[in-house]
Chains A and B, each alone.
Chain A
Amino acid sequence: MTGPIKPEKHGPKKDMPRQKMKEQDPLERIANFYEVPYGFSEDQALNEAARCLRCKDPKCVAGCPVNVNIPWFMKLVAEGRFLDAAKKIKENSLLPAVCGRVCRQEDQCEKLCLRGKKGKPVSIGNLERFVADYEREYGEIQAPELPKWTGKKIAVVGSGPAGLTAAGDLIKMGHKVTIFEALHEPGGVLMYGIPEFRLPKKIVEAEIEYLAKMGVEIVLNAVIGKLHTVDELLEKGFDAVFVGTGAGLPVFTKIPGENLVGVYSANEYLTRVNLMRAYKFPEYDTPVLRGRKIAVIGGGNTALDSARTAIRLCPEEVTVIYRRSSEEMPARTEEVRHGGEEGVKFMFLTAPVRFIGDRNGRLEAMELVRTELSSPDETGRRRAVPVAGSEFRVEVDIAIIAIGNDVNPLISATTSDISTGRCGTITADPATGMTSKKGVFAGGDIVRGGATVILAMGDGRRAASAIHNYVTGK
C-alpha cells in the first residue's frame, strides 16, 4: 500500500454533510458510566470518508503529531476496506482506538482540513475511531511477524501512551522489551485518568493485550526509583531505558482549608473512580465521597473529566469554577458541550479564596471571588485579576482541584547524571528523546510537563527509533 493514490471511480462527494455520531441521551447517561458517543455506522463512515478531497498536499497530515497518512486511510474507508484502513493508521499510530477518542482533532488534523475552510472539516477523529473499533470487533488482530532478536534488551518505565508506543515500536524492530509499571494495571493515564465514559477501559486493555501478544513483557507493581533504579536496570543487562513516567504530581491551590475532608485533587478523585472503580463501591472496596454540591476548580480536560464523573455520582449540583472566561478554557469544546448537556454548571471569571469547614473538619462552603481579565501580556495570555470586594460564599461539600500537575521527581532524584529542567522535567532532545545520561531516553509528560496523549505517543515513537539506532550502533 505505497505509491500515489489512484483516482477513484467516484470523486469526493462535495455535497455530503458532515456525519453526526449518535450519542447516549444525556438523561440516561448521567446514570451510568458507559461511553457517550456510539460511533459511526458503516454507512456513516462511507459517507464521511467520501467527503475527503484527497488533497495532493494534505495539510491534515502535517497537523497530526504522528503524521498519519490521512488521505490514504480516507480512501480505504470510502472503498469499504475498513481493516486495511486500520492497518494504514497503525503504520504511524499504535493506539488509534484511543486517539480517535481523546485526541484534540479540532486543533490538529481537522483544523487544517481544506473542507473546513468552507463548511465543516472531515470528521477524521471519528473515522479513526470507527476503523479501530471495526478492526477490534471484526478483524483478526494478529501479532505481526517479528524480526530475529537483535540480542538487545530495552526497559520501558511507565505504561502510558509514551511507554506503550515506544514498547510497540521497539519490539517490532526485534528487541526484547520489558515495561515496568508502578500501578497494578498498565495504561497509565489512560487507565487512572480518563474516565470510562470517554475511553472505555476494555479498549486500553485490548491495546495492551496486543503488545503482550507481540511479546512485550509487562511487570506490574514495579516502582522504578524504589524497587530498581534506572542505573540498576542498565547494570542488570538492559541496553537502553526509555522513561515515560508522566506528570503525576498534583498541584494544589495553596489557599486555606485545602486539607479539609472533601477536598480532592483531580488525580485522587479520578484514580479512585477509574482505576479503583469507586463508582461500583461497595462491590469494589475503594470508596469516594459522593457529596451533594460539588465544585471543580480548573478549566482543562481534567476539570471536565472530574465534573462529568461527579455528575454521574452526584446528580444534584456540579459546578466548574474557572478564573478566566469560556473563551480561554483549555478543555475541548466537545467535553464542555457534553458536560453542559449532562447538567454541569459553569462559573466563569471566578477564583477560589478559601475552603471553609464544619466542626468536624469537613468541607461545607467555599469563599470565591470574581475576577476580570487583564489586557494580554507579551505572551498574549490574559491574567485573571481578582476584583476587590467581590468575595462571596457558596455551599460546597466536595471540591475537586484540577489546576494541573507537576512531574514526579522519583526518577530524576534516583538516577545518576540525568539533567532536569525547570519544574523538575527530564531534559531530552526533542528529536531523539536522548537525555544527558548515556542509554537513557525520555518522552511524554515527564519531558513536556503536561501535554497530550498524541504528543506523548509521538515522543515514544521518535525515542524508539533513536534507541534502535543507539543499541545497534547506527
Chain B
Amino acid sequence: MFEITEKVRLSHTVALFRIKAPGIAVKRKAGQFVILRLNKHGERIPLTIVDSDTTEGTITIIVQEVGKTTGMLGAMEKGDSILDVVGPLGRPTEIERFGTCVCVGGGIGTAPVYPIAKALKEAGNKVISVIGARSKDLLTYEKEMEGASDQIFVATDDGSYGHHGFVTQIVQRLIDEGSPLNIVFAIGPLPMMRAVCDVTRPHAIRTIVSLNPVMVDGTGMCGACRVTIGGKNRFVCVDGPEFDGHEVDFEELIRRNRSYFNEEKMALEELTYHEGPRCYERAG
C-alpha cells in the first residue's frame, strides 16, 4: 500500500498528490512515470512522475479527472492509500547541455514538463518556458516553472491570462524573432504536441514529445502502448515515453487512445449511477 501524504487541488478537475514510495523517489529521473492501481478491481494507469522528495520518500503525481479511475483517484484524500504503485518506468529524459531549450507545457502537461525544465536548467541550459491552458483557472505549475526558467510565457485559449491564443503561436514567435533554439520539449494533449511539431518541423528544430498511450503492464510485455515512430513499431513503456516528435504518427496514436471510448464511458456512467456525481463536478 502506498499512502497519500498530501493532496493539493489545482483546479476543479486537477489534483496533485504526494505518495509515499521511497524506493521510486530515490531512483526516478525526469521523464519517467509510474503505473498505479487504486484497488483490487482497479485498472493500471500510467502517470508521469512530476517531482520527488528523497528525504520524505515521496513522489508527486498530477491527475486530471477524465474517467472512472482518474475520477476515483481525484476523490482520494491525504491518509488514503493506493494499492499498487510501480516504477520508475520508461527511459529518463536525455539531459545534455543543448544551449537554448524551449519547454512547452499544455494543460496538465505543464506538470510533467517541469522536472525536465528543472533538469535542463541544472545542466546549464538556457530555459525558455511556454505554458498554456484553456483558461486561467486551469493553468498549473506556473510558479514552479517560473523558478526553473530563464524566461516564461503564458497563453490561455480564452485570453483570461497572458497571451490570448495557443502556445504554438508563442513558439512560432520565438522562432520568427530569430533567437537560436536548440531543442524543444513539448508535453500536453496530443493535438497540442502535434501542433508544436508542425511549427518546429520547417525549421528542423529537434522536438521531443512525451507520449501517454493506453498501457497495461508498463514493462514491455503486452504491446498495448505500441506506436509508429519513424515508420517503426515502438513500445512507449520501454522505448519511451519520449520520442522525436517529428517522427511520431500522431493520427494513429489519437485513434488508439480512443480504443476504449465506449467502455470508458460505460464505466464512468456506472460509477456515477452508483455513487452520485463525482465531487469534482460539484466542487470548484
Instruction: Report whether A361 and B255 are in contact in the complex, using a CB–CB cutoff of 8 Å.
Output: yes
* Per-position binary interface string of chain A over residues 259-279, scored 1 when its CB falls under 8 Å from any chain B CB and 0 otherwise: 101100101100110001100
Which B residues touch A220, using CB under 8 A? 84
Q: Judge whether B217 and A259 touch: CB under 8 Å.
A: no
Of the 9-residue stretches A40-48, A91-99, A284-292, A382-390, which lies at the interface with chain B?
A284-292
Which residue of the partner chain A has the closest CB to B235? Answer: A249
Contacts beyond the supplied A226-B27, A254-B233, A276-B44: 7 A-B pairs with Cβ under 8 Å: A184-B84, A227-B87, A228-B27, A252-B233, A258-B233, A259-B252, A410-B220
B81 smallest CB distance to A (angstroms): 13
Flag the segment in B106-114, B116-124, B182-190, B261-269 that touches A. Answer: B261-269
Per-position 1/0 for A331-371, Cβ under 8 A of B: 00000000000000000000000000000111000000000
Nearest residue (CB) in B for A254 is B233
Decide: B86 and A259 in contact? CB cutoff 8 A: no
**CA of A286 to CA of B252, assembled, Å:** 22
Contact of B260 (CB < 8 Å), options: A183, A277, A287: A287
Q: Is the CB of B217 within 8 A of A227?
A: no
CA distance A111 to B269 in the complex (A): 54
Q: Scoring B residues 40 to 56 as 1 if CB is less than 8 Å from chain A, else 0, what string do you get? A: 01111000000000000
Q: Which residues of chain A come closer than 8 Å to B221, judged between CB atoms?
A: 192, 248-250, 267, 271, 408
Q: Within the complex, what minimum Cβ distance (angstroms) separates A111 from chain B?
A: 32
Q: How far is the CA of A250 from the CA of B41 in the complex (A)?
A: 25
Q: Is the CB of A183 within 8 A of B259?
A: no
Asked if residues B223 and A410 are in contact (CB atoms below 8 Å), the reply is no
CA A408 – CA B88 in complex, angstroms? Answer: 17
Closest Cβ neighbor of B222 among chain A residues: A268
Q: Smallest distance from the beta carbon of A253 to chain B beta carbons, Å?
A: 10
Residues from chain B with Cβ under 8 Å of A281 in the complex: 263, 267
Please, which residue of chain A has its CB at the minimum distance from the CB of B24?
Answer: A227
* Interface residue B68 (Cβ < 8 Å from any Cβ of A): yes
A250, B219: Cβ atoms closer than 8 Å:
no
Note all chain B residues with C-beta closer than 8 A to A221: 84-86
A259 to B267, CA, bound (A): 25
Stretch among B7-15, B93-101, B224-232 lining the A interface: B224-232
Residue of A whose beta carbon sits closest to that of B35 = A221
**Among B69, B84, B223, B252, contact of A268 (Cβ-Cβ < 8 Å):** B223
Q: Is the CB of B68 within 8 A of A285?
A: yes
Whole-angstrom distance from the CB of A156 to the nearest CB of chain B?
17
Answer yes or no: B258 CB below 8 A from chain A CBs: yes
- Interface pair A184/B259, CB less than 8 Å apart: no
Name A's B-contacting residues (CB within 8 A). 182-184, 192, 220-223, 226-228, 248-250, 252, 254, 258-259, 261-262, 265, 267-268, 271-272, 276-277, 281-287, 289, 360-362, 408, 410
Is residue B256 within 8 Å, beta carbon to beta carbon, of the partner chain?
yes
Residue of B87, B226, B227 touching A223 (CB-CB under 8 A): B87
Cβ of B164 < 8 Å from any Cβ of A? no
How far is A265 from B216 in the complex, measured between Cα atoms in Å? 12
Most buried by B among A222, A250, A286: A286
Cβ contacts B15-28/A at 8 Å (1 or 0 each): 00000000110010
**What separation, in Å, do the CA atoms of A259 and B256 have in the docked complex?**
8
Nearest residue (CB) in B for A405 is: B221
Query: Is B62 part of the binding interface, using a Cβ–Cβ cutoff of 8 Å?
Result: no
A285 contacts B238, CB within 8 Å?
no
A285 touching B69, Cβ below 8 Å: yes
Residues of A within 8 A of B266 (CB): 282
- Quick check: A259 and B226 within 8 Å, CB to CB? yes
Closest approach, in angstroms, between the C-beta of A252 and any C-beta of chain B?
A: 6
CB distance from A408 to the nearest CB of B (A): 5
Q: Which B residues are in CB contact (< 8 Å) with A408?
A: 219-221, 238
Q: Report the nearest B residue to A361, measured CB to CB.
A: B255
**Residues on A with beta carbons closer than 8 Å to the beta carbon of B42:** 285
Find out whether the CB atom of A259 lies under 8 angstroms from the CB atom of B89.
no
| Interfacial chain B residues near A276, Cβ < 8 Å | 43-44, 216
Most buried by B among A182, A248, A250, A285: A285
Contact of A261 among B37, B84, B256 (CB under 8 A): B256
- The answer on a CB contact under 8 Å between B87 and A261 is no
B223 touches A261 (CB 8 A): no
Q: Do A184 and B224 have beta carbons less than 8 Å apart?
A: no
By the criterion CB–CB under 8 Å, are B222 and A267 in contact? yes
* Contact mask for chain B residues 54-70; partner A; CB cutoff 8 A; 1 contact, 0 none: 00000000000000110
For the complex of A and B, the 5 pairs showing the least CB-CB separation, nearest first, are A361-B255, A287-B263, A268-B222, A248-B221, A221-B86
